[in-house]
Amino acid sequence: MCGIVGYVGERRAAPVILDGLRRLEYRGYDSAGLAVLAGDHVDTVRRVGHVAALLAAVPPELEGTTAIGHTRWATHGGVTEANAHPHLDATNRIALAHNGIIENHTTLRARLEEEGFKFRSETDTEVLVHLVHKFYTGDPEAAVKTALGLVQGTYGIAVIFAEHPGVIIAARNGSPLVVGKGNGETFLASDPHALSAHTREVVYLEDRDIVRIEANGWTISRMDGGGVSRNVEVLGEEWAEEGRGDFSHHMLKEIHEQPESLARCLRGRVVPELGGARLGGLELSPRDIASIRHITVLGCGTSFHAGLVGAAAMEGLARIPASAEIASEFRYRNPVIGPDDLFFAVSQSGETADTLGAVKEVQVKGGRVFGVVNVVGSSIARTCGHGVYVHSGPEIAVASTKAFTSQVAAMLVAALSFARTRALGPHEGKAFGDELLAIPERVGEWLASEPRSVMDAVDLCSKGRFVFFLGRGVSHAVALEGALKLKEIAYVPCMAYPAAEMKHGPIALIDKGTPVIVIVPDDVMRDKTLSTIQEVKARGARVIVVHTAGDTHAAKVADISIPVPRASTLISPLLSVLPLQLLAYRAGLALGRDIDRPRNLAKSVTVE
């Protein structure tokens, strides 16, 4: 969603800001703007649409060396230039960009209007810049602090003052901000990715931190007083600057990166000599593992689907009762949490507000929650304190692909490590671990020889009115994930069901030619799923079957057959999801969609 970039140094700031905003485009936004300190005033340029439109509008004479920029994903007020950030105070001498939501903005606005402040936008944010102006008596930090003392809600803000060239004041509460250390220059961003061209040395701000940023450093204090120092962290290699390479879209590149991202996720964690696995970040002794009573895996969207596979592995392999829940529902249902319950919060971005809210709810109730997170230093990773990084590397396309497979792999490794304590002998553990370790290569081989039938499926699905996805057990999670991909990238209406549910209602929708995609690994549920295929075929459905290579019967009942390599049930999602990712990508392409930035979506959903 919204993004913030700031720069203080000796360079012309506007190009640095524009480059940072371009790197944040993947998060999803609908307008962009920047504010540059220019002599005794602030110049702003704001545009609806892509950063390219902003770039075209920024005049070359915009010379200042202190600036802030913003990409906005509209929440309060339409997608207009007036609502785009940064917002200015009445004197045009203070500019402010904001991520998050000011919940009491209506009351604050009414009060400010009574006092004579004139509003120029419909946003919740504008109250902040007027409050900062109202309390400004020469000390920018004090003004920001006093203003923030009146607001309820979440914020990551960046503020510049014409009277203080070379200074940015930033503050965070529930919306991430990082400071980037340069050489004689300092950066600010809501996401370290924006800084990847300039520095890998970053400082993550904590909630209720306020920071004064200057070219040669920064000072952090707490909203309730007192200074604080925070460590400089160095981002890993995989987060270094990268582009699309030879791929036409980030999504395709990320699909093809899965052999590497999976290898990175598994490396050093599966230990064949022990017939088990080691996950340093979990810090659980065998005794702790033995006493776990129930595991709940929390997440949203794709991360929830990965969580379904994770929960199935915890139960099936480690024999621990487990379930997965959508984080946004969990957090408000006043869950009962026992002392021996364990939670995992799965999130690519580590910033999803619903998942973060669920983590906090678990913690308020005294529960233990581990993160299964991709973005290092993100809010969920930091709030959990312990967990597993999935090491996918940056995922830029809005549609999650390589993060899904790494999340599943990380959960399978965790399940294997628990299983060695609770259920499995060394030989069974080793067999599972060996199969996992072989997965990156098998994924690579399948991707290198993508069956032509994927294109036949694209043809059928992009012409269909809607598409059904069916599977059982973990293949139901894959069906959900395939349907989500096709919806978000190709905008094709889809439904995913556990296959046996069809006869309880949804089968009424099957008509002549309805595309039905069925995921049928050669496991204990195979024959039952094949029966469902017969039932939908009898009613005219055209069936695309994703099945185990060599399963000739499954291939024969299919109108379109897509073979994937043989794998044991719990590992099979890592292979059966591949054709569905490519199907969504290719259908989106065929229908002329904006693959990496599908309409209405944001990569990192930081509001409820």
**Residues identified as active-site:** 2, 603
- Which one, of 169, 230, 182, lies nearest residue 203 by Cα? 230
Neighbours of 78 (CB within 10 A): 12
CB of residue 476 vs ligand AGP: minimum separation in angstroms? 17
- Residue at 360: amino acid letter: K
Among 31, 71, 121, 349, binds ligand AGP (CB under 6 A): 349
CB of 587 to ligand AGP, least distance (A): 15
With CB under 6 A as the contact rule, the residue among 355, 417, 529, 561 that binds ligand AGP is 355
Does residue 190 bind ligand AGP (CB under 6 A)? no
| Residue 95 touching ligand AGP (CB under 6 A) | no
Pick the closer one to ligand AGP by CB: 400 or 561.
400
Centre a 10 Å sphere on the Cβ of residue 306 and count the other Cβ atoms it contains. Answer: 33
User: Is residue 258 a contact residue for ligand AGP (CB under 6 A)?
Assistant: no
Q: Closest CB to ligand AGP among 89 and 354? A: 354
Does 51 bind ligand AGP (CB under 6 A)? Our answer is no
Going 198 to 202 to 203 to 208, the CA torsion angle's sign is positive
Asked if residue 303 binds ligand AGP (CB under 6 A), the reply is yes
At its nearest, how many Å lie between ligand AGP and the CB of residue 608?
12
Tell me the angle at which helices 453-463 and 474-490 cross, rounded to the nearest 10 degrees: 60
561 forms part of the interface with ligand AGP (CB under 6 A) = no
Amino acid in position 448: A
Least distance in angstroms from the C-beta of 350 to ligand AGP? 7
Beta bridge partners of 33: 46, 70
Element (H, E) at 390: none
Please tell me the distance from the alpha carbon of residue 394 to that of residue 371, in angstroms, as a whole number.
17
Q: Is 581 in the site for ligand AGP (CB under 6 A)?
A: no
Backbone CA torsion sign across 198, 202, 204, 208? negative
The CA distances from residue 525 to 251, 476, 522, 530, in Å, are 32, 11, 8, 9
In the bound state with ligand AGP, the residue whose beta carbon lies nearer, of 374 and 421, is 374
Asked whether position 605 contacts ligand AGP by CB under 6 A, the answer is yes
Q: How far apart are CA 139 and CA 495, in angstroms?
A: 56
If the CB atoms of residues 7 and 29 are measured against ligand AGP, the closer one turns out to be 29
Instruction: Measure the N-to-C terminal CA separation of the chain; round to a whole number of Å.
Output: 12
3-state secondary structure of 526: helix
Among 190, 347, 569, 581, binds ligand AGP (CB under 6 A): 347
Say if CB 492 and CB 486 are below 8 A apart. Answer: yes
Stretch that binds ligand AGP, among 4-12, 105-113, 276-284, 342-350 (CB under 6 A): 342-350
User: Is residue 302 within the footprint of ligand AGP (CB under 6 A)?
Assistant: yes
Query: φ and ψ at 282, to 5 degrees?
Result: -85, -25
| Contacts (CB under 6 A) with ligand AGP, residues 378-437 | 398-400
Candidate residues 4, 160, 300, 479; the one interacting with ligand AGP per rule CB under 6 A: 300
Site string for ligand AGP, 481-500 (x = CB under 6 A): -------x------------
- Shortest separation between residue 480's beta carbon and ligand AGP, angstroms: 10
- Nearest distance from C-beta of residue 137 to ligand AGP, angstroms: 41
- What track of x and - describes contact with ligand AGP for positions 259 through 298 (by CB under 6 A)? ----------------------------------------
List 495's β-bridge partners, or say none. Answer: 468
CB burial class (10 A; 0-12, 13-18, 19+) of residue 451?
Answer: middle
Q: Which is nearer to ligand AGP, 45 or 414 (CB)?
A: 414
Q: Please report, for residues 208, 262, 594, the alpha-carbon distance to residue 168 in angstroms, rounded to integers and kept in the order given.
A: 16, 40, 35
Smallest separation (angstroms) from ligand AGP to the CB of 374: 8
Establish if 324 lies at the interface with ligand AGP (CB under 6 A): no
Token representation of residue 49: 């649409």
Q: How many CA atoms lie within 13 A of 97 on its CB side?
A: 34
* Shortest separation between residue 189's beta carbon and ligand AGP, angstroms: 17
Alpha carbons 84 and 34: distance in angstroms, whole number? 9
Closest CA to 458 of 478, 438, 495, 485: 485
Q: Which of 301, 440, 573, 588 binds ligand AGP (CB under 6 A)?
A: 301
Residues within the interface to ligand AGP (CB under 6 A)? 300-303, 347-349, 352, 355, 398-400, 488, 601, 604-605
